[in-house]
Chains A and B, each alone.
Chain A
Amino acid sequence: MTDTAPAIELKGISKAFGPVQANKDISIRVMPGTIHGIIGENGAGKSTLMSILYGFYKADRGEIYVKGQRTEIPDSQAAIAAGIGMVFQHFKLVQNFTVLENVILGAEDGGLLKPSLAKARGVLKQLSEEYGLSVDPDTPVEALSVGHQQRVEILKALYRQADILILDEPTGVLTPAEADHLFRILDNLRAEGKTIILITHKLREIMDITDTVSVMRRGEMTATVKTAETSPQELAELMVGRKVLLRVDKEPAKPKDAVLSVRNLRHVDGDGVERLRGISFDLRAGEILGLAGVAGNGQSELLEVLGGYRDGEGEVLLNGAPLPLSGPGSDGQARRTAGIGHVPEDRQREGLIMPYTAWENTVFGYHHDPAIQRGAFMNNAAIKTEAAAKMERFDVRPPDPNLAAKNFSGGNQQKIVLAREIERNPDVLLIGQPTRGVDIGAIEFIHQEIVRLRDLGKAILLVSVELDEIFALSDRIAVMFDGRIMGERDPNETDQRELGLLMAGVTGDAGEDPIKTVDQSLDEKEHRAAGR
């Protein structure tokens, strides 16, 4: 035999959830020692396919071969036994356990922990030398940065002797520098002969690191191509099934006066941690100010304080009039009345009541508006009619106002939230993660709507962890780190690298090795976190 058997081979995998066909007759070969990307829109069936491979779901039809052997994977124990490890998008770590304790959890050798811990310590040392996966084994996980927590997940899989690693959207929570570091680790793993399946919706990552890429659309595998022989444009088209605009068409902004002035804004959360440490900026009518930053550096809190969701201290002027930041008149209803719309970062937890119908959701937060009351009651008929019209204008599919929000896809849920907030014609619109978990087709539409609102002379504050999105939409970019604004840049005069450094808390000119500086500053942040 000249060729080795594929590390993973799936033949004709099908899986249906009720009437929804999540995977249709999927076949794929992943060769050992390669990085194989799986790309597709949300709901394309990537996660279902990987869940079948990891034993969470049982396929209705189809066969799994691991290293040439037909293998049944009824549960995750079987997957681990077959040498498959998975790093989930949401880490499955015990926060107050140390790295070492997390690594052996579920893989202890006996009733007593000491021998397992000693063994794991040795293995961990060896692994970190081999792959550059350095993590202090005795730090509690809660004191680690997100990037380091992810390394722990990878270490867990390697400790269980996985030689096939599945990573589900691994860079969603990382800074560009952390993502680079992750890719260096994946490179090392590939060099050592490990096989990696990388699930992502980011075209750039696919182009950067994979050897082969498979594209999924609506439960089907539409293509598998060599990465070297394709282009982002082609992949995007394969994902969506039609031509897509990867850039947003927009005129230069014509900003007018400042609508929202924020001065020295502070916020201390329930645990007594200062999340906003004196934020000041002006937001002008007719511009989009993009707030870049790694998740958890205060952007969410800033939006929530401005949206009336949390209390703050400092000064916020809306059209020259001060807004109360705590106590009566500081809640979301008051902000909406004052003319501040708010598209929250998490539409499922905040923006929508999932069991409510679409029409009920189209007045959520505005339900005190006198225009939709009839005496002591809500004028449901009028709300429904209005909802149907809004859904039509925002191309929500299906356009049925009586359907519960949970029954819409992520993109259509987001359109319902946007329709509600934009159609109220606010002076200021706060938007958090407008396209998180939204498919490419809907992203295009949502971006156009945001730009349209800007062109109507509205002031827009945009928070997004997707740097591409910040670049595509913003007229100015401010970068947040650790509750402060580190600096402001013109999107035409900066690049991802410079923003990445700011996002990691590095200001001014970095030394000869910026990446190293980033790592150091991250370590410092961790020490501070550990000291709390």
Chain B
Amino acid sequence: MDKMPAWADAVLVPLISLLLAAILSALVILAIGENPIEAFNLMVEGALMRSAGWGYTLYYATNFIFTGLAVSVAFHAKLFNIGGEGQATIGGLGVALICLYIPWPHWSLALIGAALGAAAFGALWALIPAYLQAKRGSHIVITTIMFNFIAAALLNYVLVNLLKPAGQMDPASPIFPAATHLPTFQDMFATDAMPLFRGSPGNVTFFLAILACFAVWLLIWRTRLGYEIRALGHSESAARYAGISPVRTIVIAMLISGGLAGLMATNTAMGEAERLVMNATEGAGFIGIAVALMGRNHPIGVFLAAILFGFLYQGGAELALWTNIPRELIVVIQALVILFTGALDNMVRTPLERVFVAMRKERA
């Protein structure tokens, strides 16, 4: 017998967690002498009430969807891939090489090429930890996080020594050719009469992210591979009994996971910066963990959680811009949300389960 209905598990628990995080955040803002209601209004205003705000929110959300999906797919195989950061970094390298060295006739073809490159590079970066886990039992958490540092160092080397145009101070690749520049929301939706999304970085890769959500849903719940990945995640002994190779399944799940994380670079490098810079991932790989946790490793949940974190990022930036609330405090608020929705999940769930059990008893 399940303890509570599915809707309560999927909707009520995260909502209550979020509310608790909001209350605590409000107390923190009060404590430094600012008005939390005003701050909240400002966040909503800046992130959601104007189309440019949405442009930013969705730009950040696109990153989080990719990294959130990456964590989710690995998690279905009970692998905790915290290397999204590194995989996205190396994915960026794939995007840069493909955009810089192949003469693309049109952005749409370039996007397909770059997406393949990003996914391939991200997957490759996940391959070594995956192999070490599957064959040698080296814990994936340790190896993936170490690979984040290796990725950062590698990118540093490549940018400074190989890609950086001579005479440029900045460790970054040259600007990608104009034919690879992706249409932003502004290019797509703004008219002269309605100047929507002005100046915001949200771009066509958001739709790629939605496509990825759908593809992951199909993969996990409709294909044999997804069936095997979930089976392995639930019980390795049962998977072996059924003739599912743990080594093969672990490696494949991690390749897909790394590929998804790598795809994030199409948004940052190709869609926004239009060149490859250092630290383009800005921690999105780690936010992906929180997004996956909050989204219950389901693509729809990941999508919604990514929008929420996009809102927090953009709203936080607005706060830093317009109030005396320091940037660090915004990180505190984001951390509280992660803490409550991810780590302290059971704090809300357990009492709620009791409530439901008690209610059912009343009725019975």
Q: Which residues of A contact B (CB under 8 A)?
A: 16, 18-20, 307-309, 331-336, 342, 344, 346, 349-356, 360, 364-365, 367-368, 373, 376-378, 380, 407
Additional A-B contacts beyond A19-B360, A365-B241 (6; CB < 8 A): A308-B243, A352-B238, A353-B231, A367-B227, A367-B242, A378-B223
Instruction: Establish whether residues B243 and A336, one from each chain, have CB atoms under 8 Å apart when the complex forms.
Output: yes
**A19-B1, A353-B231 given as contacts; is B243 within 8 A of A333 (CB)?**
yes
Instruction: Establish whether residues A350 and B243, one from each chain, have CB atoms under 8 Å apart when the complex forms.
Output: no
**A19-B364, A334-B243, A356-B231 given as contacts; is B237 within 8 A of A350 (CB)?**
yes
Instruction: Establish whether residues A18 and B3, one from each chain, have CB atoms under 8 Å apart when the complex forms.
Output: yes
Q: Which residues of B contact A (CB under 8 A)?
A: 1-3, 218, 222-224, 227-228, 230-231, 234-235, 237-238, 240-245, 357, 360-361, 364
Instruction: Establish whether residues B234 and A354, one from each chain, have CB atoms under 8 Å apart when the complex forms.
Output: yes
Q: How far is the CA of A356 from the CA of B241 in the complex (A)?
A: 15
Which of A16, A307, A335, A378 meets B224, CB within 8 Å? A378
**A18-B360, A19-B361, A367-B224 given as contacts; is B245 within 8 A of A331 (CB)?**
yes
Instruction: Establish whether residues B222 and A349, one from each chain, have CB atoms under 8 Å apart when the complex forms.
Output: no
Instruction: Establish whether residues A377 and B242, one from each chain, have CB atoms under 8 Å apart when the complex forms.
Output: no
Instruction: Establish whether residues B227 and A378, one from each chain, have CB atoms under 8 Å apart when the complex forms.
Output: yes
Q: How far is the CA of A368 from the CA of B225 in the complex (A)?
A: 10
Q: How far is the CA of A360 from the CA of B226 in the complex (A)?
A: 12
B-side contacts of A308, CB under 8 Å: 243
Q: How far is the CA of A377 from the CA of B224 in the complex (A)?
A: 7
**A331-B243, A332-B242 given as contacts; is B237 within 8 A of A349 (CB)?**
yes
Q: How far is the CA of A375 from the CA of B238 in the complex (A)?
A: 26
B-side contacts of A367, CB under 8 Å: 224, 227-228, 242
Which of A20, A331, A355 meets B234, CB within 8 Å? A355
**A18-B3, A309-B241, A332-B240 given as contacts; is B222 within 8 A of A380 (CB)?**
yes
B-side contacts of A19, CB under 8 Å: 1, 357, 360-361, 364
- Sample (22) of A-B pairs whose CB atoms are under 8 Å apart: A20-B1, A307-B241, A308-B243, A309-B240, A333-B243, A335-B243, A349-B235, A349-B238, A353-B230, A353-B238, A354-B234, A354-B235, A356-B230, A356-B234, A364-B238, A364-B242, A367-B227, A367-B242, A368-B224, A376-B223, A378-B223, A380-B222
Closest beta carbon of chain B to A125's beta carbon, Å:
42
Which of B2, B218, B228 meets A377, CB within 8 Å? B218
B-side contacts of A307, CB under 8 Å: 241
Among residues of B, the one whose C-beta sits closest to the C-beta of A347 is B238
B-side contacts of A309, CB under 8 Å: 240-241
Instruction: Establish whether residues B360 and A351, one from each chain, have CB atoms under 8 Å apart when the complex forms.
Output: no
| A-B interface, 7 closest residue pairs, ranked by CB to CB distance from nearest | A332-B243, A333-B243, A365-B242, A331-B243, A350-B241, A377-B222, A353-B234
Instruction: Establish whether residues A332 and B357, one from each chain, have CB atoms under 8 Å apart when the complex forms.
Output: no
Q: How far is the CA of A368 from the CA of B245 in the complex (A)?
A: 13
B-side contacts of A18, CB under 8 Å: 1, 3, 357, 360-361
B-side contacts of A380, CB under 8 Å: 222
**A376-B223, A380-B222 given as contacts; is B231 within 8 A of A344 (CB)?**
no
Q: How far is the CA of A308 from the CA of B357 in the complex (A)?
A: 43
Which of A353, A365, A373 meets B243, CB within 8 Å? A365
Among residues of A, the one whose C-beta sits closest to the C-beta of B245 is A331
